[in-house]
Structure 1
Amino acid sequence: MKKLKVAIAGLGRIGKIHLKNLCRNFPELEVVAVMDVAAESKNVAAEYNVPILVSDFDDLLAVLDLDVVVICSPTDTHADYTIKAAKAGKDIFCEKPLDLSLDRVQEVLDVVKESGVKLMLGFNRRFDPEFKKIRQLVLSDAIGDPQIIKITSRDPGPPPVSYIKVSGGMFLDMTIHDFDMARYISGKMVKEVFAKGAVMVDPEIGNAGDIDTAIITLTFDDGSMAVIDNCRKAVYGYDQRLEVFGNKGMAQADNNFPTNHKLYTESGMSGDLPLHFFLERYDASYVQEMKEFIDALVSGSEMPVDGNDGLLSIAIGLAAKKSVVEGRLVKLDEILA
């Protein structure tokens, strides 16, 4: 069978992760080109024996017999690059979000549909083994109908303020994963959003027009609920937990640790802190999401995360921002309208 020819746009942290995983885990494809403007990109390409390195996206699309483009460049390039790739007839994997504007996202999705190509969004947490198990328990009716979902997502430290200024804010940069997770785990449509936010980590984040601590309540179309708590800084590490309570029982996914040992002495009990950040905590999920993307391309089946999933997560994020600013519950229809 002919190998899929893949190109990667962007060799930042996540681009390097996808490059490593594609080169080491998928013999059915070949990474033929990468694109980045950083000087170190030459060494990265050489390390993985990628023959073509370019600094312009149009040059990347011009690579002979290219099948797939993986977009890992900055957020403000995602929409333009996805449109260009779709019009060039390339299947696309794009990191979230497609854009920070719903109108722009819809424009991109329209072009993708018209072009007849496949598009998958990079909501990697759906593919984490722990969270996938919870989803399977929900699907198998092991806990009954979900009534309450609790999601805790706290980073070990905030990103630079320069990044926060262009990220779209915490809800569209960080919590967007949790909005997608709430939809994925429940299998339900979000109807209403209420959020409270504060600046409790770094005043400079507030000066940049953002928050760093929040609690969000989502109400689904059947009246069940999800509660999400976020903070940009947890001194003990990357805190990623999930609980689903239903009329037949409850299921939990806890943090991952380097080891699960516990030391008991007369002074007390101790053990490892959670895995430090997303590259460590979600390492397996990045491999699995790419596997399912490639499987869908080869089989012609539906993408496990499509453009509409991305659009709805952004809409929930915009509703949360509106809720914080206006101090009220916001119906998702207000945003989607």
Structure 2
Amino acid sequence: MMKVALLGAGRIGQVHAKSITAHDGSRLVAVADAIPEAARKLAGQIGAEVRSIDDILADDEIDAVLIATSTDTHSDLIERATAAGKAVLCEKPVDLSLDRALATLKTAEASGQPVMVGFNRRFDPQFAALKAAYDAGEIGKGELLSITSFDPAPPPIDYIKVSGGLFRDMMIHDFDIACWIFGGPPARVSATGSAMVDPEIGTAGDVDTAAVILQWDDGRICVIKNSRRAGYGYDQRIELLGSEGLLSAKNMLENTVEKITASGASAAKPVYFFLERYMRAYEIEWTAFIDALQSGAAMPVTLREGVAALACAEAATRSAQSGDSVAITPDMLGAE
């Protein structure tokens, strides 16, 4: 039985707590949070102890930590946890700073401890089936990938101000999906964005509507579209055109009932938000982490892959600001 500690008892920490406690191979023994009441409430619900991060990392009986704290703490906690001999699953992104993430990559790899980055969308059954079909050669060579990711409404402005921007906070999931499907990071990134949903987002220095083109050296292209506002629900789609066909993963709907009459046709809207859409993906993600630890296999989403997604976000941010495409260079990926 793997003994696990959870660092961060906020919304996403609560989601992870459910996955940890539901798994036969793991037991959540301790919770830490900067807000003591949040830690006490969650720990009470699951029968865990409230402990400080220092105490958790000093406890040799704790095998792994799940980091679900604010992004600005991720790099420090990854470094401290791996130095303490813990396996780590850390929520995305690795850091808001690519340079800081690269330093963490070097430190963590030197420790030899396993680190997984929490890009849960890879574990969504629909997206995983698309990836498996592509890898099996069912549509030939991939040529044009299209990823749509629209949120139903923007987060609070206070969150926007500390999020690192749409490319690092929201689109980073899509950068990871693109790199995952196409087997590695692109060569160049071109991005544009604007604040159309809320002018306060623009005042805060961010965008809420964006489009990005990723280009690989062999000609493959990925187009990513993001918006902070889709009033009809949580819009999450992937379409992949290959030399011999097309693969697509569509939205999860509120129900599967479709009405067709003489006056027209109608169907249900997409589910409203990410917890409805991706709860199963979080469960599968945790199982994949535990399976890798128990078997000694490589982590299914490595820290180096987390850095690659952040490198794409960094390039997109630079491109949107300059109007020029930005190359993904080896040093941005941690190459020696």
SS of corresponding position for 2:248:
strand
Decide which of 201, 205, 209 is 2:201's aligned counterpart.
205
User: CA–CA distance in 2 between the matches of 1:203 and 1:235?
Assistant: 17
Alignment-derived partner of residue 44 in structure 1:
42
SS of corresponding position for 1:256:
coil
Residue 196 (1) aligns with residue 209 (2) = no
SS of corresponding position for 1:184:
helix
Alignment-derived partner of residue 228 in structure 1:
224
Letter of the 2:66 partner, please give it. Answer: V
Alignment-derived partner of residue 34 in structure 1:
31
Contact 1:33 1:63 in 2 (8 A): no
Q: How does 1:284-303 map to 2 (within 5 A)?
A: 284-303=280-299
Q: How does 1:95-134 map to 2 (within 5 A)?
A: 95-134=91-130
Moved more, 163-172 or 58-67: 58-67
User: CA–CA distance in 1 between the matches of 2:92 and 2:202?
Assistant: 24
Letter of the 1:7 partner, please give it. Answer: A
Letter of the 2:311 partner, please give it. Answer: A
Moved more, 221-230 or 105-114: 105-114
The TM-score normalised by the length of structure 2 is: 0.96
Deviations 1:178-229 (A, max 9, x none): 0000111121430011111111100000000000001100001211100011
Q: How does 1:154-173 map to 2 (within 5 A)?
A: 154-173=150-169
Q: Spell out structure 1 runs of 4+ moving beyond 6 A.
A: none
Residue 10 (1) aligns with residue 40 (2) = no
Alignment-derived partner of residue 327 in structure 1:
323
Decide which of 244, 250, 272 is 2:246's aligned counterpart.
250
User: CA–CA distance in 1 between the matches of 2:184 and 2:56?
Assistant: 39
Contact 2:197 2:228 in 1 (8 A): yes
Deviations 1:244-276 (A, max 9, x none): 001010000000012111123455433321111
Letter of the 1:53 partner, please give it. Answer: V
Alignment-derived partner of residue 305 in structure 2:
309
User: CA–CA distance in 1 between the matches of 2:101 and 2:257?
Assistant: 46
Letter of the 1:279 partner, please give it. Answer: L
Deviations 1:145-168 (A, max 9, x none): 100000000000001111111111
Deviations 1:67-126 (A, max 9, x none): 100000000110111111011111100001111112211211122122111000000000
Moved more, 264-273 or 113-122: 264-273
User: CA–CA distance in 2 between the matches of 1:112 and 1:188?
Assistant: 21
SS of corresponding position for 1:282:
helix
Q: What's the Cα RMSD here?
A: 1.4
User: CA–CA distance in 1 between the matches of 2:161 and 2:283?
Assistant: 30
Contact 2:94 2:310 in 1 (8 A): no
User: CA–CA distance in 2 between the matches of 1:48 and 1:115?
Assistant: 31
Contact 1:315 1:335 in 2 (8 A): no
Letter of the 1:221 partner, please give it. Answer: D
Letter of the 2:9 partner, please give it. Answer: L
Letter of the 1:12 partner, please give it. Answer: G
Contact 2:9 2:38 in 1 (8 A): no
Letter of the 1:304 partner, please give it. Answer: P
User: CA–CA distance in 1 between the matches of 2:84 and 2:286?
Assistant: 22
User: 1:184/1:72 Cα in 2 relative to 1: closer, same or farther (>3 Å)?
Assistant: same
Q: How many percent identity over aligned positions? A: 45
SS of corresponding position for 2:260:
strand
Moved more, 168-177 or 269-278: 269-278
Contact 1:125 1:282 in 2 (8 A): yes
Unaligned stretches of 5+ residues in structure 1: none
Deviations 1:24-69 (A, max 9, x none): 1x1222111011124143222111111x112x32122133511100
Residue 241 (1) aligns with residue 237 (2) = yes
User: CA–CA distance in 2 between the matches of 1:138 and 1:27?
Assistant: 32
Letter of the 1:284 partner, please give it. Answer: R
User: CA–CA distance in 1 between the matches of 2:255 and 2:136?
Assistant: 30
